[in-house]
Amino acid sequence: MADSIDESKNVTVTEEDLENKSKGELIKLAGQLRDRRNELNQMASERASARDDLNAKTREKVDEAQEHREKRDELNEQVQEHKDKRNELNAEANELFDKVDNLKNDLELDEGTSVEQLKEEIEDLEFKQQTEVLSSEDEKELIEKIETKREKLQEKQEKLDQGGDLEELKEEAEEVRSEASKHHQKVTELADEAQKHHNEMIEAYREADEIRDEADEKHEEFVEAQEAADQHHEDFVRVQKRLRELDKKEEEQERSQREEKQEAAREEAEEIYQKFKEGETLDTEDLMKLQKAGKL
């Protein structure tokens, strides 16, 4: 809330005051107007200084907010860069993993009996061939089974040899995915930091608005005091003008009185001079009047 001036201390002047107050009263009134004007000017100066200080603080807060805005925008640019890189790497990793899956399907490594299982089955069949007495037909059938499993084992081993490329591809895909995760972590860290600067920017702008409101109130107080000071100055000038008019009137009255006295003295001296010319005896006072009038 604005701190209003104490109007009870103000001094007012009416046209009636100017017309009816005596010179002494007007001189006293002029002094009161001058003192109150000076007091109000001092008050206005202090309020202007306080307003300027608040405006300076407002600018500081706005500058602070702007710094946070610039830092936030800079971090958001970095966030976008890491997002783009993360998305690019994830796309590359997905492509590599698709190649891994396709290669697995091509090699059929996930289908059928494993290499170790095939080896065990072949060993069991060979042991059976060596230890059991079989008919020609059963032995022939057993040999065919052994041969079939050996063919499957060879085919499986050949695929496994080709699968070396698969492991390398899988390792490369995992490395790319890991690199994408690093960029994702940077996205999270930078986004958090950008949000922090955004919050600080909002707070600085809020504080700037509060201080600006205080500065506006102080400016209103300054205007109030300055206008009151100006009014007192105008009234002081009016009283001074009236005093000059009274001084001029007094001077004219005094001059008129002097002229009247001088005229009366000349007329009296002329009468005395006529008496002197007619031979009447003059006393010392009459002679002095003649002398003063330049008749002697």
Instruction: Give domain status of residue 195, yes or no.
Output: yes
pLDDT at 75 over 90: yes
Is 292 within a domain?
A: no
Residue 178 — very low, low, confident or very high, per pLDDT cuts 50/70/90? very high
CB under 8 Å to 292, separation ≥6 — which residues? 265, 269
The residue-averaged pLDDT of 263-278 equals 74
What pLDDT shows up at residue 135? 83
- pLDDT for position 106: 61
Question: Which range marks the domain in which residue 180 is found?
Answer: 22-272
Q: Give the CATH number, domain containing residue 163.
A: 1.10.287
Residue 70 pLDDT: 97
Does some domain include residue 168?
A: yes
User: How many Å separate Cα 107 from the centre of its chain?
Assistant: 66
* Pick from 162, 213, 199, 230: nearest CA to 5: 230
Taking 80 as the threshold, does the pLDDT of residue 265 lie above it? Answer: no
- 270: pLDDT confidence band, cut at 50, 70 and 90? confident
Task: Give the position of tokens 């690199």.
Answer: 179
* Residue 3 within a domain: no
Q: Is residue 184 part of a domain?
A: yes
pLDDT at 97 over 60: yes
Tokens of 124: 């069991």
Tell me the average pLDDT across 75-101: 94
Query: Per-residue pLDDT averaged across 175-181, rounded?
Result: 95
Task: Please give the tally of structural domains in the chain.
Answer: 1
CA 257 to each of CA 104, 252, 266, 289: distance values in angstroms, whole numbers, following the listed order: 135, 8, 14, 19
Select the more confidently predicted residue: 2 or 157.
157
pLDDT for the residue numbered 235 = 96
Is 189 inside any structural domain? yes
pLDDT value of residue 3: 75
Q: How is 98-132 classified by DSSP, letter by letter?
A: HHHHHHHHHHTTTSS--HHHHHHHHHHHHHHHHHS
